[in-house]
Amino acid sequence: MVVKQRMGHFPWVKAFDQFDLAFQPGVEEKRVRELATLRFVEQAETVVLTGPPGVGKTMLAIGLGMEAIRAGYSVYFITLSEMADQVPRDCNDPKWTEKMRVLSSPKLLIIGEVG
């Protein structure tokens, strides 16, 4: 599992059960528990976590990523700024193709720190 965690490129490791649902009263526990079932991964659905800074969006995303790894899914975490830095602007650049392969290969791609 450590190798898979490294492959996920998580900035830190937090298990889903370490996410304190009581910390943020605006977080709907029912929705979070539904996300933890990972049905959205199996059904290839997009999930967008929104809210002001400090509410735990990244921590929740990492926790869900760790759950997905435990369930046997491949996971990759990248921030939007890292993606912008790493993906060449020219789609004819061979590095573009390689980066697209890396980003499209995991079952769950987590793009953090979007806004």
Is pTM, for the whole model, over 0.85? no
Going from the C-alpha of 13 to that of each of 9, 76, 101, the distances in angstroms are 10, 13, 24
Residue ranges of the chain with per-residue pLDDT less than 50: 1-6
pLDDT at 6: 47
How many Å separate Cα 84 from the centre of its chain?
Answer: 16
CA atoms in the 13 A half-sphere facing the CB of 1? 10
The helices-and-strands tally (H runs, E runs) of the chain is: 6, 2
Domains of the chain from N-terminus onward? 2-112 (3.40.50.300)
CA torsion 91-96-97-100 (nearest 10°) is: -110
